Structure 1
Amino acid sequence: MTRILMINLPFDGHVNPTLPLAKALIARGNNVDYICSKQFKEKIEKTGANFIPYNSFPDIPTEKEKKKLSFQALYDTSISLKENNYDLLIYEMFFYPGIQVAKQLGIPSVRQFSQSAWSEETWKSASKVFKFSSFLIDTQVMGKKRIKSMQLPFDSMDDAIIHSKPNMNIVYIPESFQKCRESFNDTFYFVVPEQETKIMNEAVNIPYEEMKKPIIYISFGSILSDKSFYKKCLKIFGNKNLSVILNSGKVKPESLGDIPNNIYVYSFVPQVDVLNHTDVFITHCGMNSVNEAIKAGVPMICMPFINDQIENANQITNLKIGKRIHSFPSRTKEIEDTVQELLNNPIYKSNIEKIKNELHENSKWNEILENVEKLCFKNE
């Protein structure tokens, strides 16, 4: 039986896309150990994988501790398992020392991208905010001492991700969504596997059958905790000839005051199910949300804040499957007008349906699984 080690950093957007691969490999008879922080134990074990927690890491880390401690903790834990004689290491691109860990363990590696892949061409045209985020990781998370102690042959995150490549890279986005697709060779596989749908709390009942069409869905995950924007949404859409499902996340619905009858506010929703009832999605453009919107064929209004969200929003606009607006619009009319444009102009719905169909027609999932296993057999 092949022994595969999967490793990852403790962030939902980087862990969640990798879980279908773990589950599929186990279903095919492979043994998978997965290193991550304890907050992901239940999710990881649900795939059938053996969960291994980081050594010397807080059980309930703060966001600052995640950023400061997780890279070193993951590296140290991975190296400590050298005697386990794994056949293959699978790492997510954000933990860019992964390829070097594999070399120290003496095994081949596979890289997973939870966002669009990086190349010299994509980096040249990336936003200043995106580049600055990478720079902060280099200076605040890694630093010269850690780079040296990990024996890394590169000095920066962008240099490592672009130039230090394994022979197999899995990118969890539609192929046509990849910016500068021509800059990636045949070692890059583009796929959007089926994710586990979260079970909704039984106390939450979304009465789709009572809602007046069209339905607008608004969600920014856990990124937005300022209730002023949500109150602005109530003002924009309240008592209009449409319905709104608002996922308020960290903001308690009762803190928003009087809620109009055509607006349904929840602190959590099963997003895949909601998108299947939605006509327009207002989103921060995290890649998981973008993939789910594409799979449901729902055009997006983009309000990005940080990191890859900005690049995703730009690509959504370029492909005309949605439109970007100001992330903190001073004029409510901008949101209202953009909703009407996406509802009334059929080009957005048509374009996103084409990409949705591409996911079904060009899936390389079985080929990916077979090639991952071939790397294991070669190592044996």
Structure 2
Amino acid sequence: MKFLFFPMQAHGHVNPMLPLIQELVSRGDEVVVYVTREFEAAIRNTGASPQLLDDSLALPSNLGSLPGLGGAGGQAMKKAMPFMLGLMRRSLHKTPQLVEQARAERADCVVYDPMAVWGRAAGAMLGLPAAIFQTSFGLSHSPTIKNAMRANMKGPPPPSALLAIGRLLLTSEVMHWRHGLPRLSPQSMFSTVEELNIIPVPRKYQPDAGNFDERFLFVGPSVLPRNDRGDFPLEQLEGKPVLLVSLGTTPMNMRPDFYKACFEAFRDTRWQVVMACGKSLDPATLGTAPSNVLVRQHVPQLEVLERARVFLTHGGMNSTMEGLWNGVPLAVFPQFADQPLNASRVTELGLGLTLSPQDALDPKALRESIERLDTDPGYRSRVAEFQKELREAGGPRRAADALHQFAASRRGGSPQKAA
């Protein structure tokens, strides 16, 4: 079979798809993935074929330096909304050209990220079976998540976001009449449902899991070595208690105040700290790091997690699942989007704790939180139990089985629901 994949152009959206893509390739399937140049090598490493998108569909490299995006919570999300909606609007303009490229592939099935509206449109216009690969929680049937998102926003969107929504909907209407693209609505932007919806978390982790019917397949995370060690000195971690500190890859997580608090919290302690500050922040601007702190713009996260005792994270879904997959308790300092939801879920399940902005920026409170996670045996015990659930959820093999069944049944002309 031949599959077309359309991810959102961000590490937290591309990386979770890679194990499934590699699994399909290993079965002899052809897989074409539409990505910007930043992700070309990662796609080639799976054995799939990258189809390059215009770089205008990438996240702006200066996003982290825009006013208001350096804070945490709903305010950062409000500030980010106009830029994300603008990216979706630009993608609609590119969709007719992209659909013509995709038509030439003569594929059997489309798999898209709900944030990649061009993938949704391509599936509809090509008349192909279309499945969703959701990179976070299932949203459509979870009142808990919807209520939490509204509370986190703390009020209505700013005028700039409302204007961006209006422009996106207008563009959608124009592209519908000119090219037949399916219309967007405020509801469908983020909670579209297909006949098959693959969600890379275990069902136990999903809020309101009982509301999700057989169309939703909770396969747990797919963790695939990324061969991204580079020159990172993993040997320096041997025999030491390792603390990994990372707020993720997106420029919206650029927090020099937090990294400096970590310097003070763990200076001259027993911890070997590995800190990833992101490509948007020059480590030199943080000042001289303590001798027990390794600071890099990028670190090989999976390899470090294999050696870590605690993970201090922003709580992006990818990082959360990778930490728990490796049996590491989490201290979550959420910034925006689904991260507060992950922080709440991790805390509710006893897999870690949530750091308030006050505690995350207070060296004494920060150090005490990390020590608590490392020395309280309850955390490590609960994480070990949850780790079993992650590894028994089915992962890429179960997702690939479902995709094959789905594509074959739809190709036969009688839509069926995936089991």
**TM-score class normalised by the smaller sequence:** 0.7 to 0.9
Give the letter aligned to residue 217 of structure 1. L
Q: Distance in 2 between matches of 1:294 and 1:97?
A: 32
The letter for the 1-side match of 2:276 is N
TM normalised by structure 2 equals 0.80
3-state secondary structure, aligned to 2:357: coil
- Listed as ranges, the matches of 1:260-339 within 5 Å are 260-327=290-357, 329=359, 330-339=361-370
Aligned to 2:372: 341
Does the residue aligned with 1:25 lie in a helix, a strand or coil? helix
The alpha-carbon deviation at position 264 of structure 1 amounts to: 2.8
2:195 maps to which residue? 167
Aligned to 2:244: 217
- Distance change >3 Å, CA 216–CA 209, structure 1 → 2: same
- C-alpha change, 1:118 and 1:358, in structure 2 (3 Å) is same
Q: Give 1:145's match in structure 2, choosing from 163, 167, 170.
A: 170
Q: How big is each residue's C-alpha offset from its partner over 1:174-219, in whole Å with a ceiling of 9 and x where there is no partner?
A: 32211111111122112212323332123634412353x3x32211
**Residues matched between the structures, number:** 375
Change beyond 3 A, Cα 1:4–1:242 = closer
CA contact (8 A) 1:39 1:60 kept: no
Instruction: Among all aligned residue pairs of Structure 1 and Structure 2, give the percentage whose two residues are the same amino acid.
Output: 23
Tell me how far apart the structure 2 counterparts of residues 12 and 70 of structure 1 sit (CA, whole Å): 20
Q: CA RMSD of the aligned region, Å?
A: 3.0
For 2:9 and 2:278, how far apart are their aligned partners in 1?
A: 19
Query: Retained in 2: the 8 A contact 1:99–1:165?
Result: no
1:118 CA drift (Å): 0.7
Higher relative contact order (CA 8 A, sep 6+): 2
Partner of 1:103: 124
Q: How does 1:181-196 map to 2 (within 5 A)?
A: 181-191=209-219, 192-196=221-225
State the distance in 1 between where 2:198 and 2:35 align.
19
Distance 2:6 2:34 in 1: 5
Q: 1:41 to 1:259 in 2, by over 3 A?
A: closer
Secondary structure at the aligned position of 1:67 is classed as helix
The 1:318/1:133 distance shift into structure 2, 3 A limit, reads farther
Residue type of the alignment partner of 1:218: V
| Greater alpha carbon shift after TM alignment, 335-344 vs 140-149 | 140-149
Report the Cα distance in structure 1 between the residues aligned to 2:288 and 2:55, rounded to whole angstroms. 47
Listed as ranges, the gaps of 5+ residues in structure 1 are none
Residue aligning to 1:71: 91
CA distance in 2, matches of 1:262, 1:58: 39
Matches of 1:297 and 1:248, distance apart in 2: 23
Larger deviation: 360-369 or 350-359? Answer: 360-369
Return the alpha-carbon distance in structure 2 between the equivalents of residues 138 and 312 of structure 1. Answer: 26
Letter in 1 for 2:248: G
Using the TM superposition, give the Cα deviation of residue 233 of structure 1 relative to its aligned residue in structure 2, in angstroms.
1.2
Equivalent residue number for residue 76 of structure 2: none
SS in 2 for 1:323: strand
CA 1:71–1:282 in 2, change beyond 3 Å: closer, same or farther? same
Query: Per-residue deviation at 1:138?
Result: 7.5
Separation of aligned partners in 2, 1:59 and 1:306: 19
